Structure 1
Amino acid sequence: MKNNNIILIGMPGSGKSTAGVLFAKAMNYRFLDVDFLIQEREGKRLYEVIEEKGNDYFLSVEDAVNCSLDVERTVVATGGSVVYCENAMKHLKTLGTVIYIKVPEKEIERRITNFSTRGIIIRSGDTLEDLYNERVSLYEKYADLTVLCDEKELQYNADKIMREYEKYINSAK
């Protein structure tokens, strides 16, 4: 069935995977982390793919993996850079509701302690602030719903995503 999935987008460290699992459980949905699919396909960790083959190659893989998704009743945690993949975003929007998990830049900075091994697509010389500022407009462009998750408590954020999603769905009826 088309459009019965929930697609999570947002910065690395926003909680797409961590709060996403709790959200999926509460919804009685399956959970899928696209980063794991990329790692499985490439046989390497994300940062190794980026280091060895470069940003453009990684984005082409990310685009292909996201475009191949065929899921139902699933919460999909995308990689933070998926918004650079126009084809992938078009496909994901056909699969369901796209939720942007918005987290303030300072909180992202606090959460990401392993920046060099996270597998983050960033131009040489750019800072996390540069990356954040560049991506926010893309996340907002593709989102059907934006949920501000500025709390540190994981369960609180998952519950907030659930409440906001339910309000969004009910307002569309």
Structure 2
Amino acid sequence: MNNIILVGMMGSGKSTIGKIVADKLNMKYMDLDQMIEQMQGLTISRIFEMYGEEKFRTLETDLIYKISDVNGAVISTGGGIVLNPVNTIQMKQTGTIFYLEGSLEQLRSNLEGETDHRPMLKANSLDTILRVRSGLYTSTAHHIISINNQTKEAIADQIIAAFQQA
């Protein structure tokens, strides 16, 4: 499959960078969290409040399978997509995976003022979440792109360069 899949922590810029990459490559853009919100008619925070994380993760897995036949798209995933090994297998069959890796400081800076609508931050600290997920992101990704002290454009250009060389 000729897709670009972005994984990484909340605050890594997956949605913003995904849109930039899609525009530059004239590819379709898909944001899994936005798609889940549209399909459920609820925000991610509300889904967590009403049904819990387990239900959200099930919706996420169902969606990754539903889009597995998509070709020529940039796909931004939710930060926890790598928690389920089934998702990782499916993503690897669907496209080239890029981990947008950021330091704890960079992620905190990027998330300033946004933590209210981040349900995972209500129960866990950012550093705890990063500690749990960083190895999963690394083992899932075909390419690791550092977001530290870089513009979104520069990050997008690195993704495009790596994707075109593959």
* One-letter amino acid of the counterpart of residue 99, structure 1: F
The answer as to whether partners of 1:64 and 1:88 remain within 8 angstroms in 2 is: no
The answer as to whether partners of 1:7 and 1:99 remain within 8 angstroms in 2 is: yes
Offset of 1:15 from its aligned partner?
Answer: 1.1
Aligned-partner Cα distance in 2 for 1:67–1:82: 12
The answer as to whether partners of 2:4 and 2:163 remain within 8 angstroms in 1 is: no
Q: What RMSD over aligned residues (CA atoms) do the two structures have, in Å? A: 1.5
1:13 — aligned with what? 11
After superposition, residues 113-152 of structure 1 pair within 5 angstroms as 113-119=113-119, 121=120, 124=123, 126-152=124-150
Describe the SS at the equivalent of 2:13.
coil
Describe the SS at the equivalent of 1:147.
strand
The answer as to whether partners of 1:4 and 1:73 remain within 8 angstroms in 2 is: yes
Q: TM-score, normalised by structure 1?
A: 0.88
1:62 — aligned with what? 60
1:84 — aligned with what? 83
Aligned-partner Cα distance in 1 for 2:162–2:106: 21
1:39 — aligned with what? 37
* One-letter amino acid of the counterpart of residue 75, structure 1: V
Q: Which runs of 5+ in 2 are unaligned?
A: none
Aligned-partner Cα distance in 2 for 1:140–1:123: 25
* One-letter amino acid of the counterpart of residue 8, structure 1: L
2:72 — aligned with what? 73
Describe the SS at the equivalent of 1:80.
coil
Describe the SS at the equivalent of 2:4.
strand
Aligned-partner Cα distance in 2 for 1:143–1:55: 24
What is the identity percentage for the equivalent residue pairs of Structure 1 and Structure 2?
27
Q: TM-score, normalised by structure 2?
A: 0.92
Offset of 1:154 from its aligned partner?
Answer: 1.8
Q: Which runs of 5+ in 1 are unaligned?
A: none
* One-letter amino acid of the counterpart of residue 165, structure 1: F
The answer as to whether partners of 1:147 and 1:164 remain within 8 angstroms in 2 is: no
